[in-house]
């Protein structure tokens, strides 16, 4: 499990179908474990949904107009050990391609 500050957001082993990746980040400062922040709303439409941190960090405060829809978010643990963000993104893309 990652130790990055993640308030009440669930952890998943596999990425949910039809969700979008907001960011891929290291779990620890120098570690090789990575996780992805995913939301169930297109990132371009996130500004029109009520959302919580950390997804709210990805919305420009000047554009944020929360509507009735609430954006859900989750952290997905990326399988394997990866030296770079690029390698972790490729692994996540492979995970998303093979999900059911």
* pLDDT above 70 coverage of the chain, percent: 90
pTM: predicted TM-score of the whole model, two decimal places: 0.84
Q: Are 7 and 75 within 8 A, CB to CB?
A: no
In a domain, 2, yes or no: no
| Structural domain range at position 72 | 10-98
In a domain, 55, yes or no: yes
Whether pLDDT at 8 is above 70: no
In a domain, 17, yes or no: yes
Q: Number of folded domains in the chain?
A: 1
In a domain, 30, yes or no: yes
In a domain, 3, yes or no: no
In a domain, 4, yes or no: no
Cα–Cα distances in angstroms (integers) from residue 57 to residues 4, 47, 81, 83, 94, in the given order: 15, 11, 26, 25, 26
In a domain, 57, yes or no: yes
In a domain, 92, yes or no: yes
């Amino acid at each position: 499990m990652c130790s990055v500050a993640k308030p009440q957001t669930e952890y998943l082993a596999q990425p949910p179908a039809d969700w979008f990746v907001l960011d891929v980040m290291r779990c620890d400062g120098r570690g090789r474990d990575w996780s992805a922040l995913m939301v169930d709303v297109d990132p371009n439409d996130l500004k029109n949904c009520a959302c919580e941190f950390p997804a709210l960090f990805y919305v420009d405060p000047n554009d944020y107009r929360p509507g009735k829809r609430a954006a859900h978010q989750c952290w997905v643990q990326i399988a394997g050990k990866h030296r770079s963000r690029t390698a972790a993104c490729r692994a996540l893309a492979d995970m998303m391609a093979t999900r059911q």
